[in-house]
Structure 1
Amino acid sequence: MYMPVSIVSELVEHLQLSEISLRKAKENAYFCEEGWSKKLRSLVPVNGITVSHIRTGKLLAVSRMVVAVFLLITMEDFSDRYFRYQDVLFNKSDGRLELSGNNYAALWPGDGKPGLWMNSISRMGAIYTNEAIELVIPPVFYDCTRILDAGEQIVSRDLYWGAIYDECKVGPEMERAEEMLVRCVERNPFVGEPYLVLGQLYLSQGRFEEAERDGSVGVGECIGRVSWEGRVAWAMVLLMKAKARSWPQTSWAIINPGLVK
């Protein structure tokens, strides 16, 4: 989804203004439509938009409701199946996923590194949630009220990859991994996996309160490289062990962490 940088900056500003307006409305029990909300909704007019058919070029009228549904499905689709391969395929490394390049010879699946698609779907979510349509709001990007900066996305992704890439984490390497993961979630708090990795790291050091905190956050964030079911299962193990104030000390115990005793 292409947007000029100036439009993205305005979108970020309008989201901030929307929070202020909502707070005022709750305090005063009255909501007055403001200029920012009118402009934001103008991205998808009340009567919908006209687009060209991807194959025939024929002009098609698309209602606002259909646009909203398309945005929601596209957000889910990107988060489910996009990874670094798509960045390589379209020659994109700036974190904006504009699908404008043409490296058709890129070999699938590539190196498996997380992709740079989150800035794009955070922008989709910002438009979706401000369309005044009675649709479910996906629980991502703080209920679609934040836009992840493209540059912060890149730095965060690289910190995460650097923290987990080396298989052996002992001594100073463990400390370095923790530092990288903490910086990772500071820059991009919208992905669950770094929190879960931090939770496991804390458990291995006997830091149970911190493990329980990050495990709870990690299971609440719906975006991640591993499937949602996989993240929930691992988060439940982390939380169970954090509450029990214990963590396995053998490899065999790590792969058998169930509730049966």
Structure 2
Amino acid sequence: MPIPFQTFDPDLFARAQPLLDDEWLARDPELAPVLPTVLARNVGQDWHKAGTFRHHLVGVTRSLTVWQQPRDVRLLGLLHSVYGNAFVDLVKFDPASERARLRELVGESAEHLVYLFCTQSRTQFVQKVLGQGMEADGSLLLDKDGTQHRLTPYEVAAFTIVSMADTIEQWFSWQDDIYSRFPHVQHRPQAVHWAASLWPGPMRPTGRMVHQINGLSKALKHPGLKDLLPTPPVFGHCNHHLSAANEAAAASLYWSVIQQDQPLVDLDVATGVLESAVRHNPWVGEPQMVLAQLYLSAGRHDDAKQAASSALHLFSAWGNSWDKRVQWDAWVAWTRILLQAAEGGPWPERLDKLNNVALRGAH
């Protein structure tokens, strides 16, 4: 069975490449004017899942930028929790007194999206979108305090896309446990489940949330939502299905190699396990990147080139990493090293010389 590698899209990589620079946001003409006000609220000091709140806001916005979303949706990504919400107790702007200030800073349409996203039930929103609860025109009814609020089709599309970016940026195994089965979370006593509570835990990639992101992506094909906003380039531009079982299998297979649960003298078993992981879930880059390195070690340069090119395409498509042990830009950097070697560049035979590898040219 052939391995479902992705075809590298140079235009997609060209959009992602400038975002590897830590200062990209400060140079973005639409977002840079907002950045000082956001940073002044100490977002770089607040904890948030696998990093800080600043890392999270920037990471969500990075995905939305790669996905070519318009200004108001990207601003929603940058500010999506600043009024607080049911998921976090962070309140960076008081919705009772500072809406006018934020409106003046970002404009009425963007502030309106931010306010709705923070104050409406996102759990209910995700439940209804995944359950195909939109109206025929793409609008969606949400209940809050006994009152119904109708989200417009544009708001539904924007919230769906931002929810996709929000999830891929932050979710890893710790949340798989403490938020188990989101958006249908059961209340469990923390002291009883103390082992699951220990942050950051083993830092495995999520075993269930890429499937949920896939479900959100398919909702964008609703006739009332289609073409309202640019389609994210993930899952083959949201055209392909990923089952929960395939995601779980792929994550488990990948992690078994990372944890060295396979024979260590020869690499044939680990290679086969990773190939199986990619067949189960061909939509995340990390298994393909590791597979590319195994191919290089085996002298299979053509296969390594195909795997590394596909991994680089997927990292570019997401704008965030699936495996949160290192940041997205580090995954991209190592993948480019592997691609360079697969295309005829140097690849060390000595183990210690891996410490010396460096990117050369335009890979």
The whole-number CA distance in structure 1 between the counterparts of 2:164 and 2:170 is 10
Deviations along 1:191-213, whole A, 9 cap, x unmatched?
10111101001111211111001
* Displacement over 6 Å in runs of 4+: none
Q: 1:130-187 CA deviation, whole Å, 9 max, x = no partner?
A: 3223311111111101221011111111000001112997434x21111110000001
- In the TM superposition, residue 260 of structure 1 has moved relative to its aligned partner by 6.2
Distance between the aligned counterparts of 1:109 and 1:217, measured in 2? 29
Q: Following the alignment from structure 1 to structure 2, what is the Cα–Cα distance between the partners of residues 199 and 4? A: 36
Give the alignment of 1:189-208 within 5 angstroms.
189-208=282-301
Which position in structure 1 is the counterpart of 2:344? 244
Distance 1:184 1:118 in 2: 14
Letter of the 2:335 partner, please give it. A
Structure 1 pair 59–180 and aligned structure 2 pair: CA distance change class (3 A): same
CA RMSD in angstroms, aligned pairs only: 2.7
2:251 is equivalent to residue 157 of structure 1: yes
1: CA distance, partners of 2:330 / 2:263: 22
Equivalent position amino acid for 2:202 in 1:
D
Counterpart check, 1:2 vs 2:127: yes
Alpha-carbon contact 2:134-2:140 (below 8 Å) kept: no
Aligned to 2:335: 235
Q: Which residue of 1 aligns with 2:235?
A: 141
* Residue 70, structure 1, aligned to residue 144, structure 2: no
Does the CA contact (< 8 Å) of 1:196 and 1:215 recur in 2? Answer: yes
Distance change (3 Å), C-alpha of 1:107 and 1:58: farther
Q: CA separation in 2, counterparts of 1:155 and 1:176?
A: 16
Alignment of 1:12-31 (within 5 A): none
Q: Take 2:158 and 2:297, find their aligned partners in 1: how far apart are those partners? A: 43
The alpha-carbon deviation at position 246 of structure 1 amounts to 3.7
Find the residue that maps to 1:255 and give its secondary structure. Answer: helix
Q: Which secondary structure state, in structure 2, belongs to the residue aligned with residue 249 of structure 1?
A: coil
Q: Provide the residue aligned with 1:225 in structure 2.
A: 323
Using structure 2 for the length normalisation, give the TM-score: 0.55
* Distance in 2 between residues matched to 1:206 and 1:231, nearest whole Å: 22
Q: Which runs of 5+ in 1 are unaligned?
A: 8-39
Tell me the SS of whatever aligns to 1:248. coil
Aligned residues: 220
Q: Which residue of 1 aligns with 2:168?
A: 79
For 1:47 and 1:259, the matched residues in 2 are separated by 47
Aligned-pair identity (%): 26
Distance in 1 between residues matched to 2:295 and 2:301, nearest whole Å: 7
Aligned partner of residue 241 in structure 2, secondary structure: coil
- Give TM-score scaled by structure 1 length: 0.75
5+ residue gaps, structure 2: 1-125, 191-196
In the TM superposition, residue 4 of structure 1 has moved relative to its aligned partner by: 11
Q: Give 2:122's aligned residue.
A: none
Structure 2 counterpart of 1:198, one-letter code: L
* Equivalences for residues 73-222 of structure 1 within 5 A: 73-92=162-181, 97-103=182-188, 105=190, 106-115=197-206, 116-130=208-222, 131-166=225-260, 170-172=264-266, 174-221=267-314, 222=317
Structure 2: distance between partners of 1:245 and 1:167 = 30
Partner of 1:51: 142
Query: Within 1, Cα distance between the matches of 2:338 and 2:282?
Result: 19
